[in-house]
Amino acid sequence: MIDAHYLFLMNKKPPSLFLLSILLFFIASCGSPPDEVTLSECWETDLQWLADSLPGLHYNLFMYEPEDTLLNRLSRLEQNLDNLSDMETVMEMTRVLASMHCSHTGIAFWTYGDWTAYPISVMWLDEGLYVTAIDAEYSELIGSRLIEYGVSPAVGAAAAMSEMFPATNDVVRRTRAENFMMLAYPMEALGFGNVDSLVSFTFLEAAGDTVIVQFEAVDQSTVNMESFHDCESVILPLWLGSDNFYWFSYLSERRMLYCAYNSCALMDDYHIDDYVEDLRECTDSSNIDAVVVDLRRNSGGNSMVAAPLINWLRELSENSDIQLYLIIGRWTYSSGILNAIEISEIPGVMVFGENTGGAPNHLGEVRTAQLPWSGLSVSYPTKYFKRVEGEGSTMRPDVRIPLDAGMLFEGQNRILDAIDELLTTYE
């Protein structure tokens, strides 16, 4: 008989009928009696699929790392299966795929086991990991820096999670890590936290005080979380002033027209043509030295939506003395980065901000398949998009101004301040 342990996932729940049928099929295909089949052999079917089947589905799994890299790492994992729990095996498989550096190539590890997490959300800023949301009981910790995760440095925990995500640049890995590093089962498998006991989190407040709070992993739907967007002590900066797809503000004291373009999509009640016409009227009727276009929140959509905006910027470049500036950042992706490149190529445009998470040259048109034993979903790209010469792994600003705590929690607009200083050199 198969040990009952093999019929349960890490959360002690029985596998789905699909997984059970896969096990029975595997046993039958092996031609072996049930008591000769081990859990390691079941996981080996998933490893074999990654080695044999995934390369044929993928656009080019060996675009950045040779095939031997994948085979050697899968082989080492196979030899160590008897020493790993189910969740540890899942995370190690995920790590192996991520090490091939092909974007959109990974395992949906977060679907394995219970969806429980510690009631904290963080963002990886220039100075470290900062709390952006937390159980409302501890709302005073919003804006503090998370320095320890259990008995380990919090940045180390984030770095461990970042290794689970395939990417061509570090920006993507960091933003993915901050979103998943509070998931209890995956983090325990990586050596951080314990799903069966309270875990201590250590925070450093702005005043320099250290606060330690113990949390248990819980279903997030049961927690009353407070976000920094709604926290009374937080002063939101201009760039977070609206979630509209596109909006603008005339900053008379700066003699600047600030144009936010947050999504490559049309608003229902405000067409992009009307938006551009309003921008044109503002520049015609106001005292303006600079137009700033902010794409740092733009994760994509339809790149053609921005055509009227980009054409207007070209007109300004050709027919006025107004200085043009572009802001990009970690959340600039997909069509957002295509539009950013178009704007940056307009004569006279200077780019500020951070390296983009999106890559000008990237793998895309993603599909999914299921691993034969575990049923876990595996994503893989089927097309390569090349927009620029060279590696094109990120878009870099002319003037790098990284996102820091003051820019997120204290209303500081450091990029606009830097543009103001630059404008004085033209006077």
- pLDDT for res 426: 67
Tokens of 153: 């440095």
Q: For the segment 320-345, what is each residue's pLDDT rounded down to a tens digit?
A: 999 999 999 999 998 999 999 999 99
pLDDT, average across residues 173-202: 96
Q: For the segment 205-218, what is each residue's pLDDT rounded down to a tens digit?
A: 999 999 999 999 99
Report domain extents, the chain.
4-111, 116-230, 238-358+394-424
C-beta of residue 348 within 8 angstroms of C-beta of residue 320 = no
Q: For the segment 252-311, what is each residue's pLDDT rounded down to a tens digit?
A: 999 999 999 999 999 999 999 999 999 999 999 999 999 999 999 999 999 999 999 999
Q: Is the pLDDT of residue 22 over 90?
A: no
Q: For the segment 148-170, what is each residue's pLDDT rounded down to a tens digit?
A: 999 999 999 999 999 999 988 89
Rounded to 5°, angle at Cα 321 from 315 and 324: 65
Residue with tokens 């009981």, as numbered in its chain:
137
pLDDT, average across residues 5-15: 30
C-beta of residue 296 within 8 angstroms of C-beta of residue 353 = yes
Instruction: Provide the mean pLDDT of the chain.
Output: 90
Angstrom CA distances, 407 to 85, 165, 174, 321, 360, stand at 42, 27, 18, 29, 26
Tokens of 188: 């325990």
- pLDDT for res 114: 82
pLDDT, average across residues 405-417: 97
Q: Is the pLDDT of residue 413 over 60?
A: yes
Reference 170, options 162, 180, 179; nearest CA is 162
pLDDT, average across residues 372-381: 96
- pLDDT for res 39: 80
Give the Cα separation of 227 and 217 in Å (integer).
19
Percentage of the chain modeled with pLDDT above 90: 83
116-230 folds as: Pdz3 Domain (2.30.42)
- pLDDT for res 57: 98
Which comes out higher in pLDDT, residue 114 or 7? 114
Give the Cα separation of 62 and 182 in Å (integer).
31
Q: For the segment 88-139, what is each residue's pLDDT rounded down to a tens digit?
A: 999 999 999 999 999 999 999 999 988 899 999 999 999 999 999 999 999 9
Give the Cα separation of 171 and 124 in Å (integer).
10
Tokens of 203: 């925070």
Q: For the segment 217-256, what is each residue's pLDDT rounded down to a tens digit?
A: 998 878 899 999 999 999 999 999 999 999 999 999 999 9
- pLDDT for res 221: 79
Pick the CATH number of 238-358+394-424 from 3.90.226.10, 3.20.20.140, 3.40.1440.10, 3.20.20.370: 3.90.226.10
C-beta of residue 418 within 8 angstroms of C-beta of residue 352 = yes
